[in-house]
A and B are shown apart, each in its own frame.
Chain A
Amino acid sequence: MTATGISFRQVSHTYRPPRGGAVLALENVSLEVREREFLALLGPSGCGKSTLLYLLGGFLPVETGKITVGGELVTGPGPDRGIVFQNFALYPWKTVRQNILYGLEKQRLPRPERERRTQELIELVHLKGFENSFPAQLSGGMKQRVAIARTLAIDPAILLMDEPFGALDAQTRALMHEELLAIIRRAPKTVVFVTHDVREAVYLADRVAVMSARPGRIKEIVDTSFGGRRGAEIASTPEFAEKVDHLWSLVRNEAIRAQEQRE
């Protein structure tokens, strides 16, 4: 098992849109994510939390500061960091099965092994019977389960999730939370989970890093581990409500500032 601790050291990022001036998206972000920790990045929209995730994924170049994974500098995307996007990002021309198989093919696994793993994952995310459906034929929740299965297929040590349940209705989202926790309980991973939903962050994460409105900085890190308990075990406890209140008070001002920036 390779080390999967993640470290951001004074990372800044400037976004240069094709038109208009440069925007400082992230400023001096320093953050440690421990091995096998579930860390939520919480902040208002436009605060740069997704950008931080894309930098960690290696999709955007790190121009200022340093990001390391297991002590190694991040220089590009890699199969050690699997990512799940908000809008699923499935290949629409591939069936459910082919979508999940893709990463395994790139990892050059032998064919019987690929088939076996794909079948396992289809069962894990409850998509049996839909193997040969195309994404356009699936509901939002099913699409996101395919996306999760596709990412889990290559068994990344680190799971990056960019508001993965943001596009789902409330009930589907609640079910997906349970499934995600069950999956991680079975195969522990380091998870970095971007969200703007306070409850979701407290429900799922060990720690929540609150980000400020643009330029994004880490404002505060709140422990939400509840002694290792998570999900439904804690959702109705007074401690849970307290954490949600506290985090909401932190995020609220930033959300107002973010709104003012947009106007």
Chain B
Amino acid sequence: MPFLPTNAHPPQDGHTKPGPKSKADLFFSFSVLALQGFGGVLAVVQRELVEKKKWLTNEEFVEQWSIAQILPGPNVVNLGVLIGQRSFGVSGALAAVAGLVTFPLIILLIIAAFYTGVSDQLWIQSGLRGMNSVVAGLVIASALKLASTLSKNPLGSFWSALIAILTFASVAMLHIPLLYVLFVIGGASCLIAYRKTVIQDKLGSFASAKESAR
């Protein structure tokens, strides 16, 4: 039977590879990771957790990262919850998230306090405005990088582009609250994706049935 759904991801018992040793290990590992993340953390997360710590394989990382990305919430915080939960349950998740935010928040508030003191200096303002223009570019670039994954999306490029543009127009141009955008455009998009996925699956199993009949 060639097309029985194979279980590509057997439940992990946690003994096959090194995981976090303790909650303190989780806390400090995630602190170290967070403190290296300037502008974006994806590259740092992969290097720390997969290459250095070997808590995850690359495949597991991609899969968990996509779950962390799809669910609402900050991606790296979601990933911390996921990894913490797998090793130590609720307290593991708390340790990982606390590690991610504690030291960076302290640093950020110190920077912000200094910034408030000097924010009336013209050159500081314009310097920050310069960085702001760059940050706008960084956010757009991340979107463009993610857009390349749309070519594999069952929606197809026409629908994907249309939905992305409609979202942009409603949010950035018309200032429609996110809630409505997600329910209306998001709902429609998921329905179209559902239809297309069902069709693709049918075609796929039809093709493999023909294959095995030969």
Do A and B associate with each other? Answer: no
